[in-house]
């Protein structure tokens, strides 16, 4: 079920809703909405604060049922933490916890007044957009379930009114479009790999293009790619019965002849490691190895839904990496689309082998003004940055700064790692132009250094989302990152172009 959003300006104590959401700081200070509700309810909130039932600690929730004097049937009080240190990241967190609490109630709608809370450095449009995106994230349920559902389930949260004036409408409009892209990315990545294979990704792209006049889709099969010389990409897919696809989406929202922006996303729909077989425990998570593809497709969808005035290309190499009698091997030498030869030292370093051909194709075909790839590329990036920050690498300081800024704006944050030529020596090979791995040290950086060899002369950035694309564990779900970062960056580019 997709959460529907609206803006509202009714007084919190008189809004007619199954539940009204207000905030309280850790020191017992009530927000203006909470104070109004408390006054109408004859001090019901303050009494619980004084008794210790409401602590105000960030993310905690307390429910008041049918308080006298308040129109809403319930009041959900959300802890905001200390007022002095309240910031955007905590604002996002308390919205997520509030919506999770709402989801446990037998209600189908609610009115949230947390968007009235002051967030230093951010206006009402930002608060509404961030709140809507956080709420949609928290309300997401994996819908392509293969388990029987309880037909007598209680009502589910379907509509959320956010307290704000008309000056926040632009923020809500952006949130709705970005949320659609995030949901698409999450749903695609969460699907089991026996469904979400290269052909399925191609079909989803074709269906989306069919619904939008300004979007076209071209899918290259293994025969066309062989004809063109995709030697590196095709080698990775040789061991699978699910043949590779190169999915190419074009959106023409800008002027005719304007160079497009370009996204490329790693689409390994399942990664066994190939002949360099991965350990069995946890291998089921390798269905998420197409998180880069899901992310750039979600970003593309959001940009189209927003109607951004620019041209955009999205290229997805979709491949399955399996062991088989025809699989590529450690020791093989591949000839890439660029003409560079690659010595394979590990078949589990396959993402860069499909990306290098996709990047070359994108540059040769579209001459983009900017090229950004996203990939669940290295475990080394997870070791370096954990699950909170996406790894960002680029030789272009201005582009890196733009992407970092977009991540800060959306709280879909990235952290820049070096991409110095000093690291290139680790990729030297005695049998080819380059090796596909650079040893155990600086693995995230050497992977990006490999890709840099195929993007020379191009304004390019690489996003390693291995730590941020999904939550670990058997019940872990895809996050939809870096959709928000990519779309915010495009919004910023469009805004600068129009000035």
Q: List the chain domain ranges.
A: 4-164, 176-498
The annotation status of 271 as a binding-site residue, yes or no, is yes
Q: At what angle do helices 198-210 and 291-306 cross, to 10 degrees?
A: 0
> Domain spanning 4-164: which CATH class is it, in words?
alpha beta
Query: How far is residue 382's CA from residue 210's CA, in Å, rounded to a whole number?
Result: 37
Among 441, 409, 410, CA closest to 426? 441
pLDDT at 149: 62
Dihedral angle of Cα 383, 390, 392, 175, to the nearest 10 degrees = 180
pLDDT at 143: 77
pLDDT at 153: 66
The annotation status of 118 as a binding-site residue, yes or no, is no
Query: How far is residue 219's CA from residue 263's CA, in Å, rounded to a whole number?
Result: 16
Asked if residue 479 lies in contact with residue 469, where contact means CB atoms within 8 angstroms, the answer is yes
Q: Is 224 helix (H, G, I), strand (E, B) or coil?
A: helix
Q: Is 278 a catalytic residue?
A: yes
Asked if residue 497 lies in contact with residue 310, where contact means CB atoms within 8 angstroms, the answer is yes
- Rounded to the nearest integer, the mean pLDDT of the chain is 96
Cβ neighbourhood burial of 323 (10 Å; 0-12, 13-18, 19+) = middle
Q: Is 352 a catalytic residue?
A: yes
- Residues found in the chain: 499
Paired sense of beta strands 74-79 and 20-24, if any: parallel
pLDDT at 47: 97
Q: What are phi and psi of 77, to 5 degrees?
A: -100, 125
Query: How far is residue 13's CA from residue 178's CA, in Å, rounded to a whole number?
Result: 31
Please give the DSSP secondary-structure letter assigned to residue 167. G
CA angle 359, 459, 224 (to 5 degrees): 20
Quick count: other Cβ atoms within 10 Å of Cβ 278? 14
Query: How far is residue 462's CA from residue 295's CA, in Å, rounded to a whole number?
Result: 13
Among 300, 315, 297, 312, CA closest to 218? 315
Domain 176-498 fold is: Aminopeptidase (3.40.630)
User: Has this prediction a pTM greater than 0.85?
Assistant: yes
Asked if residue 219 lies in contact with residue 293, where contact means CB atoms within 8 angstroms, the answer is no
The annotation status of 46 as a binding-site residue, yes or no, is no
Pick the catalytic residue from 36, 74, 127, 352: 352
The Cα-based distances of 352 to 251, 315, 462 in angstroms read 26, 14, 11
Q: What are the 10-residue block averages of pLDDT along the chain, 499 residues in total?
A: 93 98 96 98 97 97 96 98 98 98 97 98 98 97 71 82 96 98 98 98 98 98 98 98 98 97 98 97 97 98 98 98 98 98 98 98 98 98 97 98 98 98 98 97 98 98 98 92 98 85
The annotation status of 289 as a binding-site residue, yes or no, is yes
The annotation status of 350 as a binding-site residue, yes or no, is yes
Pick the catalytic residue from 252, 259, 278, 369: 278
pLDDT at 499: 59
């Amino acid at each position: 079920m997709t959460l529907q959003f609206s803006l509202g300006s009714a007084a919190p104590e008189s809004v007619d809703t199954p539940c009204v959401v207000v905030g309280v700081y850790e020191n017992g200070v009530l927000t203006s909405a909470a104070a109004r509700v408390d006054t109408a309810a004859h001090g019901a909130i303050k009494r619980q604060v004084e008794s210790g039932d409401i602590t105000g600690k960030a993310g905690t929730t307390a429910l008041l049922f049918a308080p006298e004097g308040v129109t809403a049937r319930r009041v959900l009080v959300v802890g905001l933490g200390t007022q002095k240190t309240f910031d955007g990241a905590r604002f996002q967190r308390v919205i997520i916890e509030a919506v999770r609490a709402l989801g446990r109630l037998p209600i189908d709608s609610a009115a949230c007044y947390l968007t009235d809370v002051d967030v230093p450095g951010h206006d009402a449009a930002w608060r509404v957009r961030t709140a809507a995106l956080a709420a949609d994230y928290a309300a997401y349920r994996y819908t392509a379930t293969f388990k029987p559902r309880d037909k007598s389930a209680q009502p589910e949260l379907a509509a959320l009114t956010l307290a704000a004036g008309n000056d926040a409408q632009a923020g809500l409009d952006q949130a709705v479009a970005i949320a659609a892209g995030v949901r698409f990315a999450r749903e695609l990545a969460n699907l089991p790999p026996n469904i979400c294979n290269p052909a399925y990704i191609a079909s989803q792209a074709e269906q989306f293009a069919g619904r939008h006049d300004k979007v076209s889709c071209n899918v290259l099969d293994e025969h066309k790619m062989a004809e063109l010389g995709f030697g590196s990409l095709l080698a990775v897919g040789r061991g699978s019965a699910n043949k590779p696809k190169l999915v190419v989406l074009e959106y023409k929202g800008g002027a005719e002849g304007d160079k497009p922006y370009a996204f490329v996303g790693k689409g390994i729909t399942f990664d066994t490691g190939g002949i360099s077989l991965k350990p069995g425990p946890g291998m089921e998570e390798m269905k998420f190895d197409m998180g880069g593809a899901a992310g750039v497709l979600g970003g593309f969808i959001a940009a189209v839904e927003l109607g951004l005035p620019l041209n955009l290309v999205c290229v997805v190499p979709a491949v399955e990496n399996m062991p088989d009698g025809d699989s590529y091997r450690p020791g093989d030498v591949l000839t890439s689309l660029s003409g560079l030869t690659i010595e394979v030292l590990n078949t589990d370093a396959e993402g860069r082998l499909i990306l290098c051909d996709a990047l070359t194709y994108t540059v040769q075909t579209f001459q983009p003004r900017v090229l950004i790839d996203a990939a669940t590329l290295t475990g080394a990036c997870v070791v370096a940055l954990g699950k909170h920050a996406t790894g960002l690498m680029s030789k272009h300081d201005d582009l890196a700064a733009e992407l970092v800024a977009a991540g800060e704006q959306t709280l879909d944050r990235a952290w820049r790692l070096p991409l110095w030529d000093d690291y290139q020596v680790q990729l030297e090979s005695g049998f080819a132009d380059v090796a596909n791995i650079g040893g155990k040290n600086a693995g995230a950086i050497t992977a990006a250094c490999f890709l840099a060899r195929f993007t020379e002369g191009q304004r390019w950035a690489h996003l390693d989302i291995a730590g941020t694309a999904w939550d670990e564990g058997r019940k872990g779900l895809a996050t939809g990152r870096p959709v928000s970062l990519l779309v915010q960056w495009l919004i910023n580019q469009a805004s600068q172009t129009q000035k």
